[in-house]
Amino acid sequence: MSELGHEVLAAVLQVRSRSLQVLLWRRAREPQVGRWSLPGGQLGATEDIEASVRRQLAEKVDVRQLSHVEQLAVFSAPDRVPGDRVIASTFLALVRSDNDPVIPDDTSWFPIDALPDTAFDHQAVVLRARDRLRSKLSYTNVGFALAAPEFTVSALRDVYSAALGYRVSATNLQRVLSRRGQLEPTGETVPPGPSGGRPAALFRFARASIQITDPFAVFRPPATTPPPAPPSPPTESASRA
Amino acid sequence: MSELGHEVLAAVLQVRSRSLQVLLWRRAREPQVGRWSLPGGQLGATEDIEASVRRQLAEKVDVRQLSHVEQLAVFSAPDRVPGDRVIASTFLALVRSDNDPVIPDDTSWFPIDALPDTAFDHQAVVLRARDRLRSKLSYTNVGFALAAPEFTVSALRDVYSAALGYRVSATNLQRVLSRRGQLEPTGETVPPGPSGGRPAALFRFARASIQITDPFAVFRPPATTPPPAPPSPPTESASRA
DNA sequence: ACAAAAGTGTTGAGATTACACCCATGT
DNA sequence: ACATGGGTGTAATCTCAACACTTTTGT
């Protein structure tokens, strides 16, 4: 019977310099010396996997300000790494764009569209993290985990554009998020830049934990609140006695 | 150092008797004798976790016709089961409603809204499976994995109603699925029942593997097809040289 | 004829995009 | 004044829910 290990791996994503980037760590040893891998490590005996990710990120790359962490998937191909078998539980972890954690020399941020040579199956993990983030930006409030605590709409647009990989309109972004109750004006404004322009209002996210804001694409359950008392239809025995 | 095991667990769901049901297995041994648990077992040395689920379901409960299988989440609390630590990779597995697999005496189907006493953290797995299925019915074509290969729209409505837990309108169900290209008429019809009525047309799903049919709730990427030649994108060096 | 079930037509409400236009500030 | 963002108004489009109405069959 061979040994079976369990590791956790995190794709730590952040919007930096207007691009979505991932934190990678350069392997110093065989196998695959010089390739870039995701931070993580062996699961400890007394921690669950999420605690393990947080611990490893804090210890190994000194990243402590994770605004959001969620499970991605398990990678379990028997030969996914050489030697003893290791199963990987993978995570999506987000860092707000106002943070700039001090990271070790052998780690670096890479734009997710220009990854270097990655180790093992780590590229698949990164792509999965990216896709998950992009989907969730559409139907949840994860934006809070990417943006600074307070921001102008155009700063937020830049964050969304970087994360989604295509231009987003500030006008419509503001309207959608407002309608969903995600945005709150702080009441303050920031002065315009050197080239002029109207001062921008500051906003914040209404909630700082993930929530599904757009739950049903279709097949919505029958409305219960809005129609208080539609005129009693033909023969239907209504709910009221 | 304590032992570390890895098991796989599956919430096998099927629409039976117009209700969404899950396959459970009655524990014959301590701990938690008599409680009901999810089928599954220890991960084998040479298989990945999905292969393991399929194997265990085939061997232990004789369920082989899985129309869809996907990972749910890892349950890793150190004390989730007594004794040596065991990490569980959990799955959602679906069986089409036209199947009726022969199952062992100590297993049984339970409506998901009336679960018996469940073992360990298995109830959480079942609920997660249910929620995942309900979400995916809205934005993917998973319906194919619940319905029979050919069906009338009202049969399909019953399947969707059971899975979602609320009445669905056959009229609108047909329209939505048709618009998305999920439904194909077979050209055949079935005769009406004893009480009369117009004969119903038979349909099938256009694809028998899962696909996202309603990808973007909002923040859709800029339309690429309609506007023939939008002005060349800004200054970004694109992927194309 | 009448009832029952299937399927189509049509209207109305909401959400979202696109775009024109106004606002506040620097030069 | 004019240029430069920021922000609001508004129309066109699309999707979906609701419901009336037609179609096809059994009794």
Higher pLDDT, residue A60 or A122? A122
Look up the domain containing A82 and give its range: 5-137
Do A94 and A49 share a structural domain?
yes
Looking at the domain assignment, is residue A46 inside a domain? yes
For chain B, percent of residues with pLDDT exceeding 70 = 88
* CB burial readout B108-118, b (16+ within 10 A) else e: ebbebeeeeeb
Q: Are strands B151-152 and B200-205 parallel, antiparallel or unpaired?
A: antiparallel
Supply the pLDDT for residue B77.
97
- Residue A124 buriedness (CB in 10 A; 0-12 / 13-18 / 19+): middle
Identify which has the larger pLDDT, A240 or A88: A88
Quote the pLDDT of residue B241: 23
B160 CA vs D25 C1’ separation (Å): 26
Q: Are residues B47 and B33 part of one domain?
A: yes
pLDDT on residue A241 = 22
Average pLDDT for chain B? 89
Q: Which residue of A has its CA nearest to B174?
A: A219
Between chains, do A85 and B45 touch, taking CB under 8 Å as contact? yes
Identify whether B216 is part of a domain. Answer: no
Are B155 and B143 spatial neighbours (Cβ–Cβ below 8 Å)? no
Do the beta carbons of residue B27 and residue B11 sit within 8 Å?
Answer: no
The verdict on B114 and B150 lying in the same domain is no
DSSP structural state of residue B112:
T
In the stretch 56-115 of chain A, residues with CB closer than 8 A to chain B read 71, 73-74, 76-78, 85, 87, 89, 113
Residues B146 and B115 in one domain: no
Are B11 and B120 part of one and the same domain?
A: yes
CA–CA separation, A162 and A105 (whole Å): 25
Chains A & B: contacts with CB separation below 8 Å = 92
Task: Output phi, psi for B175, to 5 deg.
Answer: -65, -45
pLDDT of residue A191: 94
- Residue B223 has a pLDDT of 62
Q: What is the average pLDDT across A148-154?
A: 97
B49 and A76 within 8 Å at the Cβ level: the answer is yes
Give residue numbers, 146 to 165 of B, with CB < 7 Å from strand C. 152-154
Q: Report pLDDT for B226.
A: 39
| pLDDT > 70 in chain A, percent | 89
In a domain, A22, yes or no: yes
Residue bearing the bigger pLDDT, A240 or B52: B52
Q: State whether A163 and A120 are in the same domain.
A: no
Q: What is the CATH number of the domain that holds B153?
A: 1.10.10.10
- Would you say residue B200 lies in a domain? yes
Find how far residue A138's CA is from the centre of its chain. 12
**Who's near B186: CB < 8 A, 6+ residues apart?**
B150, B201, B202, B203, B204
Rg (CA), chain B: 22
Judge if B57 and B121 occupy the same domain: yes
Strands B200-205 and B183-190: antiparallel
Position A234 pLDDT exceeds 90: no
Do the domain assignments include residue A144? yes
Residues of chain A neighbouring B166 (CB-CB closer than 8 A): 221-222
Q: Are residues B122 and B147 in the same domain?
A: no
> Of A112, A137, A162, which one is at a domain's C-terminal end?
A137
Q: Looking at the structure, do residues B79 and B194 belong to the same domain, yes or no?
A: no
Q: How far is A18 from chain B (nearest CA, A)?
A: 12
Q: What is the CATH number of the domain that holds B127?
A: 3.90.79.10
Report if residue B67 sits inside a domain.
Answer: yes
The stretch A64-70 carries a mean pLDDT of 96
What's the gap in Å between the CA of A92 and the closest CA on chain B?
13
DSSP state of A181: T
In Å, how far is B60's CA from the nearest CA of chain A? 22
**Burial grade of B94 (CB within 10 A; 0-12, 13-18, 19 or more):** buried
Q: A23 and A133 share a domain?
A: yes
Contact between residue A34 and residue A115 where contact means Cβ atoms under 8 Å apart: no
Find which nucleotide's C1' atom is closest to B198's CA: D24
User: Looking at residues A159-181, what average pLDDT do you find?
Assistant: 93
Indicate yes or no: strand C within 7 A of the C-beta of A235. Answer: no
Provide the Cα torsion B223, B228, B230, B233; round to 10°: 80
pLDDT at A230 over 80: no
Least confident of A91-100, A182-191, A219-228: A219-228
Rounded to 5 degrees, what angle do the CA atoms B73, B71, B205 make? Answer: 140
Q: pLDDT at residue A87 above 50?
A: yes
pLDDT digits (tens, 9 = 90+) for B16-67: 999 999 999 999 998 999 999 999 999 999 999 999 999 999 998 889 999 9
Number of compact structural domains in chain B: 2
**Domain check: are B23 and B50 in the same one?**
yes
Q: Decide if A241 is inside a domain.
A: no
- Kindly state whether residue A227 falls inside one of the protein's structural domains: no
Q: Tell me, yes or no, whether A85 and A19 share the same domain.
A: yes
pLDDT tens track for A113-131? 999 999 999 999 999 999 9
Q: What does the pLDDT look like over B161-220, one tens digit per residue?
A: 999 999 999 999 999 999 999 999 999 999 998 888 899 999 999 999 999 988 865 666
Q: Assign B2 a pLDDT band (cuts: 50, 70, 90).
A: low
pLDDT for residue B196: 85
**Who contacts B209 (Cβ-Cβ below 8 Å, separation ≥6)?**
none
